[in-house]
Structure 1
Amino acid sequence: MPAAQILMPAPMADDVVAALDDRFMLHRLWEQDDREGFLRSVAPDIRGLAVSTLAGRIDAAWFDRLPALEIVASFGVGYDNVDAGAAAGRGIVVTNTPGVLDDEVADLAVGLLLATLRRIPQADRFVREGRWADGAFPLSPTLRGRRVGILGLGAIGKAIAHRLAAFGVSIGYHGRSRQDGVDYRYYVTTVALAEASDVVMAVVPGGSGTRHLVDADVLAALGPDGVLINVSRGSVVDERALVAALLDGTIGGAGLDVFENEPQVPEALLAMPNVVLLPHIGSASHATRAAMGRLVVENLTTWFDEGRALTPVPETSRR
């Protein structure tokens, strides 16, 4: 039987490309001079898509053009770049890469919280710019005695909570429903969580259901000593409301690994001394990205060898 034909719209890691090239007939769309013409020529035979966020939105328009498509293997635990509902309606399975990046993102989230509260990047610049000789660095806020609210107590949220417990902080959470077997206090709304917290850490998936979940009301409830940490998706936070809240002192600071229009970051945020900004690096270690890439390959391989996917997303898990 000839190898299944897989389309990769945008470049992925070299080891992912090599592994897929070895197992399938891989088409690299980004290498084509006439991408539209090339896509027309191969579209009827494409049975699998390997995508990352660099591929842009994978939606019904894509599915309409690929009549033989069976599976979309997405690189990342978040898959809001893929219209999983539209895929499910066409019998197409969508997979992501959960589990293998939970610890890495949780580590980064705690590091970002500490960096934001203790102003570690600002202190580093203070030394590099030779200002230490002119006087001591200003005192910073502390993690001691903080109440941390985790917005989205999934696998990554639980890993963050486990780490934070060692710091002796109190922990609460908000999600779609209360979780059995969880000792942390549950709050029914995001505003209630923010009112009871000094730190809100956003760890929910992206997508229409969580768009601007952190809005002006949540930020106001968090208060002038409060800190927002976002390691989920930029769409989860109303960025305009966040900028306004930081400018007028509604909240005390923010640590952001994600933004609404990446890689564009609002100029106002760049100028703020009470904000720590990272370039979406939550899972960006060599080991974790390699594990994510292997899972993309394994999902495609298992699907075409055995007719099952290892990590289907909930919308398509029945396929």
Structure 2
Amino acid sequence: MPEKVLVYSRFPKSLMQRIGDQFDLLDAGGRPPHEVFVKHELDQLRAMITQGSSLLNGEMMDRFPKLGAIVCYGTGYDGIDLQAASRRGIAVGHSPGANASSVADIAITLMLGAIRRLVVADGYVRSGDWAAAKPSPMMRAQQGIRGRKVGLYGMGAIGRKIAARVAAFEAEVAYFSRSRHDDLPYQYFPSLDALADWCSVLVIAVRAGPETHYIVNAGILKRLGEDGYVVNIARGSVIDEDALVAALKDKIIAGAGLDVYAKEPYPPGALTAFPNVVLTPHIGGHTLESHRAMQDCVIANLAAFFQGKPLPYAVV
């Protein structure tokens, strides 16, 4: 008989199909599990699947007395109270690097879209203004990617792939991260402040956590300058969105490209009014190959757990 696994977060059923072929999934549909299932069912559960951004604290963990594994679908795990899990002997797994290429692709897409103003250009054609030769200040020529200084905040699996893609556009690349990587050919800066002073495009690829909450603030944005852009494919909590809106309104920076927001799916309405901002609905890892790779990690983690083995993709 297949092992029972709780689906804690809301997922499209299509994403759970492969996993459901091997395990008996109890899908809470994003609702509190104790409102969906009877206590006896929850008392017997040993593993769950969740989105890394879904809040899961010790109090919730205590509702599952036999819980031994929390498996995140994706690379992130910022919503999980890791200390609470550790105290309860609960292993936490994720899908490291599974969606790195796809997220790197969306980072480049957002960077190009913002700098080359693709959304504005698309509207210029569709409206008939181009055919009518109607002048548009947003269509003035500006600096492209070649020769720009692009700074990466975070140099994990995703950051490395973004850096390689940026370099192919003949831009200069530098980075700041918790650790310096001597195997990389890119300049390292000892602080985020120093990196922001150097670059005109700041790409955020850092893991979210208390130490990075709102770390990209008004001061960092001001350091980018009026020709500067910020691109965020990490987590919305890394940017102070009020400061970002103010920087765009006051023309302190030139534009932004965002795939993530502090409160999803509710980005600040003010952002939608800026023609120099490109917005996507957290689709960085939303490709067929990324989902299959993430499902592979989920299945491997669950299979190992139920066999009494360490999770192959454990959060350390």
TM-score (norm 2): 0.92
**In the alignment, which residue of structure 1 is the partner of 2:3?**
4
Deviations 1:135-168 (A, max 9, x none): 2643243112210110001111011111111122
1:16 deviates by 4.9
5 Å-filtered alignment, 1:98-247, equals: 98-135=96-133, 137-247=139-249
Counterpart code for 2:283:
I
Asked if 1 retains the 8 angstrom alpha-carbon contact of 2:218 and 2:247, the reply is: yes
Q: How many residues align?
A: 312
Farther off after superposition, 95-104 or 137-146: 137-146
The separation in 1 between residues aligned to 2:19 and 2:292, in whole angstroms, is: 14
Change (3 A) 1:272 1:169: same
Amino acid at match of 1:58: L
Find the partner of 1:94 among 92, 103, 113: 92
Is the 8 Å Cα contact of residues 19 and 295 (structure 2) preserved in structure 1? no
State the SS of the aligned residue for 1:200: strand
In the TM superposition, what is the alpha-carbon distance from 1:260 to its structure 2 partner? 0.8
Residue 71 of structure 1 aligns with which residue? 69
CA–CA distance in 2 between the matches of 1:211 and 1:20? Answer: 33
33 and 221 in structure 1: CA distance in 2 versus 1, 3 angstrom threshold: closer
Deviation (angstroms), 1:35:
4.6
**Percentage of pairs with the same residue:** 38
Matching of residue 83 in structure 1 with residue 81 in structure 2: yes
5+ residue gaps, structure 1? 315-319
Cα distance in structure 1, aligned partners of 2:161 and 2:154: 11
Q: Assess if the C-alpha contact under 8 Å between 1:239 and 1:260 holds in 2.
A: yes
- Aligned mates of 1:33, 1:182 — CA distance in 2: 45
Q: 2:58 maps to which residue?
A: 60
Note the C-alpha offset of 1:304. Answer: 1.0
Counterparts of 1:120 and 1:260, CA distance in 2: 25
**Segment drifting more, 40-49 vs 15-24:** 15-24
Partner of 1:279: 281
**Residues 1:237 and 1:126: Cα distance change in structure 2 (over 3 Å):** same
User: Which contiguous aligned blocks of 4+ residues in structure 1 show a shift greater than 6 angstroms?
Assistant: 31-34
Whole-Å separation in 1 of the counterparts to 2:302 and 2:277? 40
CA shift digits 1:169-216 (9 cap, x unpaired): 111111113222222111111111000001100000112121111111
Between structures 1 and 2, the one with greater helix share: 1
Distance 2:283 2:33 in 1: 33
SS of 1:201's equivalent in the other structure is: strand
| Paired residues of 2:15 and 2:291 also in contact (CA < 8 A) | no
* Greater mean alpha carbon deviation, residues 284-293 or residues 96-105: 284-293
Q: Judge conservation of contact 2:52–2:79 (CA < 8 Å) in 1.
A: yes
Instruction: State the TM-score, normalized to the length of structure 1.
Output: 0.91
Alpha-carbon distance between aligned partners in 2 of 1:57 and 1:205, rounded to the nearest angstrom: 16
Secondary structure class of the residue paired with 1:294? helix
The Cα of 1:270 is off from its aligned counterpart by: 0.7
Indicate conservation of the 8 Å contact 1:150/1:174, yes or no.
yes
Where 1:88 maps in the other structure, the secondary structure is helix
2-side partners of 1:67 and 1:120: how far apart? 52
Q: 1:269 to 1:184 in 2, by over 3 A?
A: same
The answer as to whether partners of 2:74 and 2:98 remain within 8 angstroms in 1 is no
Compute the RMSD of aligned alpha carbons. 2.1
Equivalent-residue separation in structure 1 for 2:155 and 2:285 (angstroms) = 18
SS of corresponding position for 2:247: helix
Alpha-carbon separation, structure 2, partners of 1:152 and 1:297 = 28
C-alpha change, 1:170 and 1:188, in structure 2 (3 Å) is same
Give the whole-Å Cα distance in 1 for the aligned partners of 2:264 and 2:38. 27
**Structure 2 counterpart of 1:260, from 255, 259, 262:** 262
Contact 2:18 2:295 in 1 (8 A): no
The 1:37–1:138 alpha-carbon spacing in structure 2 relative to 1, beyond 3 Å, is closer
Is the CA contact 2:6–2:28 (under 8 Å) kept in the aligned structure 1? yes
Native 8 Å contact 1:74 1:296 kept in 2 = yes
